[in-house]
Structure 1
Amino acid sequence: MSQPLPKRLIKTRLFWVTVVMLFVYAACLVLLYRQVVPDQDVPGGRLIGLGHEAVPISAKYAALTAIPLSLLFLWLDRFKPQRFWVWFMTFAWGACVATFVAAQINTWASAHLSIVGNGDPATGSRAAIYVAPFVEESAKATVLFWLAILMRYRWVSRLSGIALAGLAGAGFAFVENILYYGRVYRYAANTFGEVQPEQALQQLFLMRGVLTFFGHPLFTSMTGIGLAIALRSKSKIVRVIAPLAGFCAAAFLHMSFNTVSTLVQGTQLLLMYIFVAIPAVLAMVVFVVRQEFREGRLIRERLTDYARVGWLPVEDALPMSRLRTRLRALWQSIFRGWHGFLATVRVQRAETELAYLRDAMARGVVDDAGLQREKYLLARIRSERGRAVIQPAARADYARIKELVRRRRPAPAYAPAHYPGPAGLGGNLPAPGTAPIGPGATHYSKVDPNWKPPGE
């Protein structure tokens, strides 16, 4: 940490991995754009693409779903948030690499199944049911397995698994929605009918972007939960079976969703949505809420272990285990100045990591290197705790805003004082170094010797 930031970045492997992956993301996005946007000449005719006009309009509607979903998953993992580059790389993988790979394999599989089916109309849904779930879930889950390998000690909870998987799914759904919206917009623009292109796009947006927006994030979350369970388990059997079970659950949910949306129509589709899809989403919401309470209880119990041996103050366990209390502490630390805010952030992150480290040591998934990390975190907490806000007060010290403003306000530039005139604002003192000192400083007014009281 004593070295400059540019030098540290150059020596970090993750920095170079990030640079390489950015080029890979850009290449996949450009190749996918050239494949689906312009019109292409194919044997026997001309393949109509999305068109350059439809892409910006489709991206605007797709962003209305992707941005709130991404913010929701970032807000979800608040106990131990990942670094920004991890979030960005996960979302970009789903948006660029996963969509490009899935498009190639799904297109090849659809053509192959159509040929094998000998023109059977029923073969049109085979790729969506039997191929797309496994291909798309594999493409999205690949980045999760890479993260589990590269940062296995930073992936500490199931909430982290759900958040990262949800970001990969949201990125995939973002680009996929652009493709679907662009196709329906271009089709409506080239078809003479009563439905306008914008109206047709809005109808599809209602179906994909509003009613079924949860699809890809929900499916991929199963893989994220399986990986999180594997990383926090000491059993080798669980480490192998849990990710596979999570991936199979994701593929099965995806297959069920595609089957229902492809083969079921009308009232039956509505009933399946009400009695199957919505309960599945509510079950995930209940699971996430329970995990929030579980993680808070884990942090409180593990920090209490350090408080019992005197390595941490007793009053730290409860505030660090409550998200609302931590947020209030951050808010009140703002009025203590920049250093107080940074100290509060560092203490909260250090004590949270210390709690998860203690839990990993108790589970037996961290070796003796955890002891060195434990000492570092305890030393960091002791050095920053004096300036941090641990237990927030009933009300923030808003009066310090005036003090900070007054401290930054420059003093008024008064003209220098000159003797014998007034010196300073009150005029009580002579100007320093200009007034005579001693008996010579006393002056008397002239007296008339003929003066006498009146009337004499």
Structure 2
Amino acid sequence: MSVASSERRALARGDRRAFARNGLPAEVDPATPLPKRLLRSRLFWLSVVVLLGYLACAALLYRQVVPDQEVPGGTVPGLGTEALPIAAKYAAITAVPLSLVFLWADRFRPQRIWVWLMTFGWGAFVATFISAQVNTWAASQLSIAGDGDPATGPRAAIFVAPFVEEAAKGTVLFWLAILMRYQWVSRLSGIVLAGLSGAAFAFVENILYYGRAYRYAARTFGQVPPLEALQQLFLLRGVLTFFGHPLFTSMLGIGLAVALRSKSKTVRVVAPLAGYLGAVFLHMAFNTTASLTQGRSQFFVYLFVALPLVVGLVVFVVRQLLREGRLIRDRLVDYVRVGWLPEGDPAALSRLRTRSKAVWHALFLGPDPLLATLRMQRAVTELAYLRDAMVRGLVDQTGVQREKALLGRIRALRSLAVTQPTGRAAYPSFRRRRAAEAVGGYAPASYPGPAGLGGNYPAPVMTAAAPPPGVPPSATAPLGQTATQYSEVDPTWKPPGE
């Protein structure tokens, strides 16, 4: 091995360490085949292991809640295979639109699809399985046998479930913060990931509640029909209080996002802890209200406490969207001042409406312009957030290498990408072609027509002078009586036989 090659390898190892220390993604060699890149990726193997863990938790949870369980002294009825698909359908009515709303909010710097899937899978299977085990054990420890205070029944729901469930849902956020802290660029990233985990947790939890209501009504004589009992519970959990788990966990997501974008060590410790305690407090207040209040008191708490919190979160998300747009514009102006970006880029690439319009225009230009437009918008957004991290001191001089790579990518994509859309998109034309254009092999029509004036004889040859340049022949054709021309009379003509 030569000295030069060993020095290059040492330099490459040093660069990889510097990139890993700052959380920056290393540039991928496009010449390397995709299977080889996947086999060498630690993130790929970690995803495989996590996926297998999700499947295991899902199988264990299914065995625990679906079939009937034999216990000392009797049988605990499970959900049953009949109620499970019905309950899953009603639970999906809430989970699917709620998840799409969270994905829509993550528009400036959307995460990779596998990140969304891993977050949703954790909340749906791992968090629910852990919470079910711990909550069941805690409820058995806090229960009172014999005559006791009826208020001690909800002890586990008030004092145990909030701590356990918020910790179980939020664990995936801590893992993602460690693995991909560079991609947590704003509070919106924390809210979206936390909301997905909470929506997935609520999805599986609602399946359990709906299935139990359906099975209990089916096994109890004289009660309401099973489907009606399920629909009543769906109105309460899936319509009126669907925001519960995503709202609670979003507090932890905001705390983690604040910690990752701060240089202070104190803030990095206090912000996630404060977010977790805020999620636990909201969860505890919700369970307390649902367990100990009824009727008008519960309605007042819902109307004047719960709904204002949801409206406040929506307003916060909208304000963050506007704030992120201003941040991207301000950071891109730095590159315009040194001549590395055109003057129109900051305004066009920092507005969601303009970015969406550019994607729409590129959609009708073909797959290559569409892909180039999406890649360029992502590269420009990453460049703006990288510049912000360098200004804040979160990234050292290693960020300059990533900055050069992003600028080179933007320069290469600019010829195909749509950045500043104007006018209408290049919509395909579906108008019918004219008959003359549809039939090929015939000369274009000329005055007075291919069949003459009467329609029975060939058209006479026109001897008029050629029309001026730019004027069609039909514009100089004679009209009226002068349009009719007669052949000369032969004076020697006579009928045959004379």
Q: If the length of structure 2 is used for normalisation, what is the TM-score?
A: 0.80
Moved over 3 A (4+): 115-120, 424-427
1:162 corresponds to which of 188, 191, 213: 191
Instruction: Supply the AA of the counterpart residue of 1:122.
Output: A
Taking the aligned partners of 1:384 and 1:377, their CA distance within structure 2 comes to 11
Match of 1:375 in 2: 404
| Structure 2 CA distance for aligned equivalents of residues 33 and 267 of structure 1 | 38
- Pairwise CA distance, 1:369: 1.8
State how far apart, in whole Å, the 2-side matches of 1:358 and 1:377 are: 11
State the partner residue of 1:177. 206
- Select 1:197's aligned residue among 226, 229, 239: 226
**Correspondence list, 1:267-282, <5 A:** 267-282=296-311
Contact kept, 8 Å, 2:127 with 2:201, in 1: the verdict is yes
Partner of 2:4: none
Helix, strand or coil at the partner of 2:183: coil
Aligned to 2:359: 330
Check the 8 A contact 2:359/2:418 in 1, yes or no: yes
Question: For residues 18 and 205 of structure 1, what CA distance do their matches in structure 2 show?
Answer: 34
CA deviation map 1:271-325 (0-9, x unaligned): 1100000000001011011001000000000001110111111100011111111
How far did residue 379 of structure 1 move? Answer: 0.3
Unaligned runs of 5+ in 1: 407-411, 415-423, 428-453
Rounded Cα–Cα distance in structure 2 between residues aligned with 1:266 and 1:120: 21
Q: How many residue pairs were aligned?
A: 415
- 1:178 is paired with a residue of what secondary structure? helix
CA 1:95 to 1:369, structure 2 compared with 1: closer, same or farther past 3 Å? same
Distance in 1, matches of 2:298 and 2:363, equals 52
For 2:395, the aligned partner's letter is: V
Mapping of 1:121-270 within 5 angstroms? 121-270=150-299
The amino acid across from 1:326 in the alignment is: R
Are 1:292 and 2:353 matched, yes or no?
no
Partners of 1:282 and 1:320 lie apart in 2 by: 29
**1:39-79 deviation per Cα after TM superposition (whole angstroms, max 9, x unaligned):** 11111111111111110000000000000011000001000
| 1:83 maps onto 2:116 in alignment | no
Distance 1:153 1:116, change over 3 A: farther
Partner of 2:378: 349
8 Å CA contact 2:194–2:252 kept in 1: the answer is yes
1:341-372 superposed Cα distances (whole Å, 9 cap, x missing partner): 11111110000000000000011111222111
Give yes or no for the alignment of 1:339 onto 2:368. yes
| Aligned residue type for 2:166 | E
Distance 1:169 1:390 in 2: 36
Alpha-carbon distance in 2 for matches of 1:77, 1:116: 50
Please state whether the residue corresponding to 2:396 is helix, strand or coil: coil
Supply the distance in 2 between the matched residues of 1:161 and 1:60 (Cα, whole angstroms).
28
Of 97, 105, 109, 2:138 maps to: 109
CA contact (8 A) 1:133 1:254 kept: yes
Q: Return 218-227 or 366-375, whichever deviates more.
A: 366-375
RMSD: 2.2
Mapped partners of 1:318, 1:239: distance in 2: 33
- Residue equivalent to 1:431: none
Aligned 8 A contact 1:117 1:123 in 2: no
Q: How far did residue 387 of structure 1 move?
A: 1.3
Distance 1:267 1:100 in 2: 35
Q: Give the aligned residue type for 2:341.
A: L
Question: Alignment partner of 2:339: what SS?
Answer: coil
Alpha-carbon distance in 1 for matches of 2:285, 2:64: 29
Residue equivalent to 1:320 = 349
Q: Secondary structure at the match of 1:57?
A: helix
SS of the residue 2:75 aligns to: strand
Which residue, 367, 388, 395 being the options, matches 1:366? Answer: 395
1:114–1:120 Cα contact (<8 Å) kept: no
Tell whether 2:82 aligns with 1:53: yes
2:365 and 2:332 map into 1 onto residues whose CA distance is 26
1:142 deviates by 0.2
Query: 3-state SS of the aligned residue for 1:153?
Result: helix
Aligned residue in 2 for 1:447: none
Q: State the one-letter code of the partner of 1:193.
A: G
Task: Report the counterpart of residue 307 of structure 1 in structure 2.
Answer: 336
The aligned residue for residue 39 of structure 1 is 68
Distance in 2 between the 1:117 and 1:272 partners?
A: 33
Gaps of 5+ in 2: 1-29, 444-490, 493-498
In 2: Cα distance, 1:69 partner to 1:127 partner: 28
In structure 1, which of residues 11, 14, 25 is the aligned counterpart of residue 40 of structure 2?
11
1:393 aligns with 2:411: no
State the match for 1:70 in structure 2: 99
CA distance in 2, matches of 1:109, 1:398: 62
The letter for the 2-side match of 1:259 is T
Q: Work out the CA distance in 2 between the residues paired with 1:94 and 1:325.
A: 34
Residues 117 and 173 of structure 1, relative CA distance in 2, 3 Å threshold: farther
How far apart are residue 118 of structure 1 and its match?
Answer: 7.8
Counterpart AA for 1:145: F
Letter of the 2:238 counterpart:
G
CA distance in 1, matches of 2:346, 2:146: 64
**Kept in 1: contact 2:364–2:427 (CA 8 A):** yes
Contact 2:217 2:223 in 1 (8 A): no
CA contact (8 A) 1:156 1:356 kept: yes
* Equivalence for 2:454: none
Larger displacement relative to structure 2 (108-117 or 151-160): 108-117
Q: What is the CA–CA distance in structure 1 between the aligned matches of 2:307 and 2:111, rounded to whole Å?
A: 29
Amino acid at match of 1:283: G
Per the alignment, in what secondary structure is the counterpart of residue 386 of structure 1?
A: coil
Q: How many Å apart are 1:117 and its aligned residue?
A: 9.7
Determine helix, strand or coil for the equivalent of 2:143.
helix
Aligned residue in 2 for 1:92: 121
Q: Report the CA distance between 1:115 and its aligned residue.
A: 4.7
Residues 7-33 of structure 1, C-alpha deviations (whole Å, 9 max, x = no match): 111111111111111110011011011
Question: Which amino acid counterpart does residue 260 of structure 1 have in structure 2?
Answer: T
Matched residue SS, 1:387: coil
